[in-house]
Amino acid sequence: MFSKVLASLGQGGAKVDAQLLDRSVRPGGPLRGQVVLIGGQVDQEVDGLGVALLARVEQTDERGGVTLVDLPFQNVNLASNAVVRAGQQLTVPFEIHLPWETPITTVLGKHLSGMAVGLQTMLDLGGSMADPQDIDAVAIEPLPAQHRILDAFSRLGFQFRAGGLEKNKITGLDQQLPFFQEIRFAPSPAFAQAFFEVAVTFLATSSGMQVVLDVRKKVRVGKGSGLGPQGRAAMGAFPVDYARVGSVNWEQQIEGWLREAAKPRAIFD
């Protein structure tokens, strides 16, 4: 009886350990692994066993304050209404499909600072969660088309600053997830006088994607503040067809859009 009480408190109860079989994955592809379920000191009822993808996103409240929250965006149920015997070890394989808009966390194996996406294992034992903090980092590489766009920015002289996820929707574009990723660059020398920063967002599907460029322009004259380091946002998007990625000069296309965005259009721009 005492063992049952301890198990209900998480001491001597069943435990889980997720093992990823894929070292890196890409948006739209599968993430494969297995969950090892190890029985505790007594038999226990398993109300639920599953895995979920979590992303750390910036959430802005009504007052403009920003907090970081871990937001689930894809989950798979592996088992329910089962019993794990004392000392028993079970291996449950899983495959979770990554949404096409899954954010990138690594490029050529190098982690993008500011990004955190992980796989959480959830074990519900009679209403109590075991190991709720069991989260494994997931390395998500860009799609070939996304890599080509990022490479174009590098070739143009832009320097990567950081990545981030914002819980919001981009107006006027088809977006599936409740958040979007921004990959932020410091401007190249050619655009240093025009921009403070350039952010790239990919809204991918199975056949193509929208590339969103969000720039923070340097304002020549600020309203009521004279000359100084003011900033104004400008956003544009262009489509990318995966089948035509190799036939387009992306350096030229990106540079052309940025030069158009850099043009002043009014006294306060």
Q: In angstroms, how far is CA 262 from the centroid of its own chain?
A: 29
Please report, for residues 197, 220, 266, 269, the alpha-carbon distance to residue 223 in angstroms, rounded to integers and kept in the order given.
21, 10, 12, 10
Task: Quickly state the pLDDT bin for 14 (edges 50, 70, 90).
Answer: confident
Please report, for residues 10, 22, 35, 87, 265, the alpha-carbon distance to residue 92 in angstroms, rounded to integers and kept in the order given.
21, 16, 5, 16, 60
Domain segments of the chain as ranges? 2-137, 144-262
Fold for the domain defined by 2-137: Immunoglobulin-like (2.60.40)
Residue 262: strand, helix, or coil? helix
**CB distance 51 to 119 below 8 Å:** yes
Q: Which of 42-51, 87-96, 200-209 has the highest mean pLDDT?
A: 200-209
Distance from C-alpha of 190 to C-alpha of 182, rounded to nearest angstrom: 22
- The sign of the torsion formed by the CA atoms of 149, 151, 152, 158 equals positive
Segment 10-29 mean pLDDT: 85
Strands 180-186 and 66-79: unpaired
Looking at every residue in the chain, the average pLDDT score rounds to 87
Q: What is the pLDDT of residues 155-188, one digit of tens each?
A: 999 999 999 999 999 999 999 999 999 999 999 9
Say if residue 127's pLDDT is above 90. Answer: no
Say if residue 225's pLDDT is above 60. Answer: no
